[in-house]
Structure 1
Amino acid sequence: MATPMATEKTPVPKLDVEEYLTTALSATPQELHPFFIAFQDLHSRKLWHQLTTKLAEFFDHPLSRSYRVDVFDRFVRDFETKLNQLKLVEMGVKVSKEIDNPSTHLIFLKSLSERIPTDKAPDAHVLLLASLAHAKLLYGDIEGTRVDMDAAWAILDSLPAVESRVRAAYYKVAADYYKAKAEYAPYYRNSLLYLACIDLEDLEPEERLLRAHDLSLSAFLGDTIYNFGELLMHPILDTLNGTPHEWIKRLLFTFNEGNIGKFEALAPLFPREPILQENYPFLRQKICLMALIESVFKRSAYDRTMSFQTIAEETRLPLDEVEHLVMKALSLKLIKGSLDQVDQKAQITWVQPRVLSTEQIGQLAKRLAAWGEKLHKVEERIAPELNILWDFAPRVLRYDDSTSKAIP
């Protein structure tokens, strides 16, 4: 069955479907024969939806691997315009993974891309562009990856609704692109968006573990990531349990709590992840910022004017480094407020919302309970005065507009 693969430069002759399928029956394993018999029947009856379903089953069959490219490039291509274009592209992307030669692989995808009408099937075009970008990334073409990513996003961003698997394809290649570029914050954002578009159980255990590991490292190293809430709540973190990377999960919660003591206790494990060891000064500053946020959060709204000395004690920093830390927090919009350099005080008016740990929720519950008690005491103090006012209040008269007389 093997034939040279047709490209956009090679005219594709009209296929004799009957002859092709008859030949396939004698050239393929017997386990695949029911598929070709079904292809023959469904094609003759022009049942394109059922034929698409049967083709998808064929491409999923382990024994079909050696025949996938030929069946798609010759048989499916003969009637591809009659199929759902998104499903056609999904089959084409799956088939393309059987092509080992990088150049041939890209030609296959580009040829398919040119045959998919963008105006009639924009979602299919996005999926194909994302697949092209991913192939280029694997082959080291970083610039070409970015070009296809941008083209895919231009279409995707204009669509009012699109299936999750199409978005997942884009966010996956975007995350992998930023990982290759070592751009931690964009990787973190796109990777979480990718996970939001898929069922976690669809990932292989090894891929889940790698994704959880990489997401955690990007959370630590992202210079704009100071809120780990979405990651801390995501079940993918459970993948780290019982593995050599479990300490990374503990470190994530340590950062979220702004607990410098726990950070210092885990620091000896950093050599297990050389990239964390290399960025220790940055991580130290980051935990100090998180400790500042936690210190502000623990205080009531009326007790958020903090001396530099207090901040130094909370963050375990020298006194002369406190001002720089607070200015850094203000510039990152982690807090809002003002600095009094003369009196060496910081007045904090707002702190960035974030996900709370069980311990932090317990602290918040205690504060709410104390606030409720204060309200109760205020009520007890003013209740007698309100009763006195009520007893001596002047009688209020109501008037009937029609008669202009008072109503008792």
Structure 2
Amino acid sequence: MDIDPKPIPEFLAQQRDEHTPAELQPLMLDFEDFWERKLWHQLTTALDEFFRHPESGPQRLGLFKNFVMTFADKINQLKLVELGLWASQECKDYQEALVFLETITKKVNNVDSQDAYVYAIVEVARIKLCLEDLKGARIALDEAEKILDKFDSVESIVHASFYRVSSDYYSTKREFSAYYRNALLYLACVQSTELPQAKQCELAYNLSIAALLSEKIYNFGELLLHPILDSLVDTEHAWIRELLFAFNTGDLGKYNGLLGHLDKQPLFEGKQQFLRQKLCLSALTEAVFQRPPHDRALTFESIMKETGVSADEVEYLLMKALSEGLIRGSIDQVAGVARIAWVQPKVLDKGQIENMRQRLMEWDGSVSRLNKYMEEKLSESVTA
């Protein structure tokens, strides 16, 4: 780092007189006062307020290098990294930012500040992603993950940073399942409503894409229940939210009505057959779910009707559902019947909840009738 040789009071006075906007000058006066009195906590708080102000941009890098680094060991190391991240935004390019952040990473690499070290190394990984150094980013993230695994609790800001950069890495690699998992973990560490609206929409859209294109994700429940999905309402991407709900219920008609949107998305090119199979699997599980537990023997003909598959696709669809753990049961090829003992739970919409309510009422009625029948038989045996 380039260091200005001026004494601290002279450096701060020059910064205040020549570069600091009027509204920030009181903070500059506080810097010198707190520094002289060695009030490190108060100084850190004042610096944090200064660095967060949009007008402080041109001064952040110089202040960090020539002022903050002179007492870096005396302040909270996590806050030191955070101030460094604000300052790194003023670097002229990603390469300069990488060198700057690597210097901070070395500074906080000690046993007493592992959270700060992870925070710094994850941000190094982020810059390496920007420089298209995927191998370097992976190495940094793996190192961070090893340390995070030893933490006794979740450090919101550190874990959020790790999951955010990890999801960016998997997005670049187009590994949809891993992206989906890490992006949801990131949202578990932050308040999604506090994110900028554009960021909410971007996350919701990317999560929806990942859920649909992943070869391992067949249950979108966690995403469907997350409020971030509502950020797509009344936007140009509202259709993909509708598509997710169509997949959740296996709604073939709604899916066909949204095909026009899919054709315009490059990521879905050549994926129509895969998406159709995924939808048919959802339609199959929905058909099983709609039936009471004692009536889950589905004929191949009924499966064809419910899922829209042809006769020669029924057995493959059932085998796929069994192998993915969506259902449990057996297939009688001779009789042309699938006997389902269990179906994977899924998120219910209002229509499905009403359907379940009706089934519970029917079950309650049958139990009441059985109870009445038993009472009548008991009464007859007593009088006899």
TM-score range, shorter chain: over 0.9
Distance in 2 of aligned mates of 1:366 and 1:33: 68
AA partner of residue 314 (structure 2): V
Q: 1:242 to 1:387 in 2, by over 3 A?
A: same
Is 1:15–1:75's contact at 8 Å kept on the other side of the alignment? Answer: no
AA partner of residue 129 (structure 2): L
Q: For residue 12 of structure 2, what is the aligned residue in structure 1?
A: 21
Q: For residue 108 of structure 1, what is the aligned residue in structure 2?
A: 100
Secondary structure in 2 aligned to 1:135?
helix
Matched, 1:159 2:151: yes
Deviation at 1:316, TM superposition (A): 1.0
Is 2:21–2:55's contact at 8 Å kept on the other side of the alignment? Answer: no
Q: Percent identity?
A: 42
Structure 2: which 5+ runs fail to align?
none
Is the deviation greater in 276-285 or in 248-257? 276-285
Q: Deviations over 1:190-223 (max 9, x none)?
A: 1111111112233222211111111111111011
AA partner of residue 19 (structure 1): E
Q: Deviations over 1:23-68 (max 9, x none)?
A: 2223223423222210111111111111000000111122211111
Q: For residue 120 of structure 2, what is the aligned residue in structure 1?
A: 128
Q: Deviations over 1:254-307 (max 9, x none)?
A: 000111122112223322323224311110000000000001101111111212
Deviation at 1:324, TM superposition (A): 0.6
Q: For residue 310 of structure 2, what is the aligned residue in structure 1?
A: 318
1:35 aligned to 23, 27, 30, which one? Answer: 27
Q: 1:366 to 1:118 in 2, by over 3 A?
A: farther
Q: 1:30 to 1:192 in 2, by over 3 A?
A: closer
Within 5 A, what are the aligned runs for 1:325-336?
325-336=317-328
Matched, 1:231 2:223: yes
Distance in 1 of aligned mates of 2:262 and 2:72: 54
Is 1:96–1:108's contact at 8 Å kept on the other side of the alignment? Answer: yes
Deviation at 1:388, TM superposition (A): 6.0
AA partner of residue 292 (structure 1): L
Within 5 A, what are the aligned runs for 1:186-197?
186-197=178-189
Q: For residue 217 of structure 1, what is the aligned residue in structure 2?
A: 209
Q: 1:309 to 1:20 in 2, by over 3 A?
A: same
Distance in 1 of aligned mates of 2:249 and 2:154: 38
AA partner of residue 156 (structure 1): L
Is the deviation greater in 82-91 or in 382-391? 382-391
Q: For residue 97 of structure 1, what is the aligned residue in structure 2?
A: 89
AA partner of residue 15 (structure 2): A
AA partner of residue 27 (structure 1): E
Deviation at 1:390, TM superposition (A): 7.1
AA partner of residue 363 (structure 2): W
Q: 1:390 to 1:192 in 2, by over 3 A?
A: farther
Within 5 A, what are the aligned runs for 1:1-20?
5-6=1-2, 16-20=7-11
1:47 aligned to 25, 31, 39, which one? Answer: 39
Is the deviation greater in 116-125 or in 360-369? 116-125
Deviation at 1:14, TM superposition (A): 8.1
Distance in 1 of aligned mates of 2:276 and 2:375: 53
Query: What TM-score, normalized to structure 2?
Result: 0.95
Deviation at 1:170, TM superposition (A): 0.5
Matched, 1:149 2:123: no
Is 2:208–2:240's contact at 8 Å kept on the other side of the alignment? Answer: yes
Distance in 2 of aligned mates of 1:223 and 1:197: 26
Secondary structure in 2 aligned to 1:306?
strand
Is 1:14–1:78's contact at 8 Å kept on the other side of the alignment? Answer: no
Is 1:15–1:78's contact at 8 Å kept on the other side of the alignment? Answer: no
Is 2:299–2:336's contact at 8 Å kept on the other side of the alignment? Answer: yes
Question: How many corresponding residue pairs?
Answer: 383
Deviation at 1:129, TM superposition (A): 1.3
Secondary structure in 2 aligned to 1:122?
helix
Task: Name the Cα RMSD after superposition.
Answer: 1.7
Kindly name which structure, 1 or 2, has the bigger radius of gyration based on alpha carbons. Answer: 1
Q: Deviations over 1:311-364 (max 9, x none)?
A: 111111111111111111111111111122222221111111111011000110
Query: What TM-score, normalized to structure 1?
Result: 0.90
Matched, 1:373 2:373: no
AA partner of residue 143 (structure 1): K
Distance in 2 of aligned mates of 1:26 and 1:13: 16
Provide runs of 4+ in structure 1 moved above 4 Å.
12-15, 387-392
1:285 aligned to 277, 282, 288, which one? Answer: 277
Is 1:123–1:162's contact at 8 Å kept on the other side of the alignment? Answer: no
1:340 aligned to 332, 342, 348, which one? Answer: 332
Structure 1: which 5+ runs fail to align?
7-11, 393-408
